[in-house]
Amino acid sequence: METRELTYPSGEGPERLDSFLARTVDDMTRSAAQRLIDEGMVTVDGTVPKPSLKLKGGERVAVSIPPPVPAEPTAEDIPLDILYEDSDLIVVNKPAGMVVHPGAGTGSGTLVNALLGHCRDLSGIGGQVRPGIVHRIDKDTSGVLVVAKNDRTHLALAHQFKEHSVKRVYLALVFGSPKADRGRIESVIGRHPSERTKMSGRARHGKHAVTHWQALHRYPGLTLLRLRLETGRTHQIRVHLSEAGHPLVGDEVYGGGGRLAAIRDPHLRTLIRELDRQALHAKVLGFIHPATGEYLEFDTELPEDMARIIEYLEKAGTASPS
């Protein structure tokens, strides 16, 4: 990844940050500049700004430019766990470790590459790099996703997500034990002011985010939570739980790694290390089929790595249901 260090000249008059980047950096359009700013790849005097920021003179601008992504993803023969498929959409159970679509540094092995190897009729609304992709989950989060095969279906599903009418339920294993049995977390989530790869509920600019949670089982030092998303912001669950004092087990980015030393059981510590990801699974997805009007709901089992930890905790006889 290339990093450019720029200084906005004094005496030129105010100019929007995205406009300045578009005219200063070779082959960069204004929309590309806005995307980099939104993704936290640009800082002004060390902080992450909004694209509309007006530069006035003397500001130090740093922009990280990712390597180019292939214009069109290639079809790859990658096995898929298909839960449902018809002529309009396909529902898959994504494994942990698989990126949803190609991006900087990831041009192959993604869910999009696998989908193109399985079927060619994907919606074009997401563009060449993200055909059919209506929503995403993180690389190291497992679980259910719906993908559109045509533009009509894509638009209809996207509208349901925008209206928050899609049912999305996650299971998460977190450190600590929440005082209540259930609750609601609400904040504005945006790019972290200083760490560009992270999101934060304390960002100056962001989007409204709501997560509902329920404690299913409590174990010594750990709790299994059921979470329902009212909104779907980037890293929403990870940010909300971390800032509530209960980071996801295995989440190195949001504080889950530093809590491992508090687990006294050596075998449990080994199982958590072997997890090698955040303990988060998108268990349930429910939506109205755009063509038939039928409500469809898909419920997936915990993947083996998370189930192994839960099974050990249950066998140890330490569970206390909430």
* Model confidence band, residue 191 (pLDDT cutoffs 50, 70, 90): confident
> Domain spanning 167-287+295-321: which CATH class is it, in words?
alpha beta
Is residue 182 scored above 70 in pLDDT? yes
Task: Summarize the confidence of residues 129-151 as an average pLDDT.
Answer: 90
Cβ-count burial 154-180 (b if 16+ within 10 Å, e if not): bebbbebbeeeebebbbbbbbbbebee
Question: Tell me, what DSSP letter sits at residue 257?
Answer: G
Q: CA quadruple 287, 291, 293, 298: dihedral positive or negative?
A: negative
User: Any alpha helices (H) in the chain, and if so which ranges?
Assistant: 17-24, 30-38, 111-118, 151-162, 236-243, 266-275, 304-315
How many C-beta atoms surround the C-beta of residue 30 within 10 A?
A: 15
- What is residue 71's predicted lDDT score, i.e. its pLDDT? 56
On the question of pLDDT at 318 being above 60, the answer is: no
Q: Quick count: other Cβ atoms within 10 Å of Cβ 68? A: 9
Mean pLDDT value across residues 243-272? 91
Q: For 11-52, how does the pLDDT look when each residue is reduced to its tens digit (9 = 90+)? A: 878 999 999 998 888 778 888 888 888 888 899 998 888 888
For 2-65, the fitting CATH number among 3.10.290.10, 1.10.1200.10, 3.30.465.10, 2.160.20.10 is 3.10.290.10
pLDDT, tens digit, for every residue of 64-94? 887 665 557 888 999 999 999 999 999 999 9
Q: What is the pLDDT of residue 310?
A: 96
Model confidence at 279, in pLDDT bands (50, 70, 90)?
very high
Point out the residues that are catalytic.
138
pLDDT of residue 82: 96
Q: What does the alpha-carbon distance between residue 212 and residue 182 come to, in Å, rounded to a whole number?
A: 8
* Residue 111 CA: distances (Å) to CA of 73, 79, 89, 96, 209: 10, 10, 14, 11, 26
Are 77 and 88 in contact, with CB atoms under 8 Å apart? no
% of the chain exceeding 90 in pLDDT? 61
Domains of the chain, by residue range, sit at 2-65, 82-162, 167-287+295-321
- For residue 134, give the nearest of 113, 153, 115, 110 by alpha carbon: 153
pLDDT at 102 over 90: no
Phi-psi region of 16 (alpha: psi -120 to 50; beta: other; left: phi over 0): beta
pLDDT of residue 249: 96
Query: What average pLDDT does range 286-300 have in this prediction?
Result: 98
In CATH terms, are 2-65 and 82-162 the same topology? no
Residue range 235-254, pLDDT digits in tens: 999 999 999 999 999 999 89
d(CA 270, CA 125): 44
- Is the CB of residue 63 less than 8 Å from the CB of residue 6? yes
Q: 199 has which bridge partners?
A: 191
Q: What is the greatest pairwise CA distance in the chain?
A: 71
pLDDT on residue 176: 94
Class of domain 82-162: alpha beta
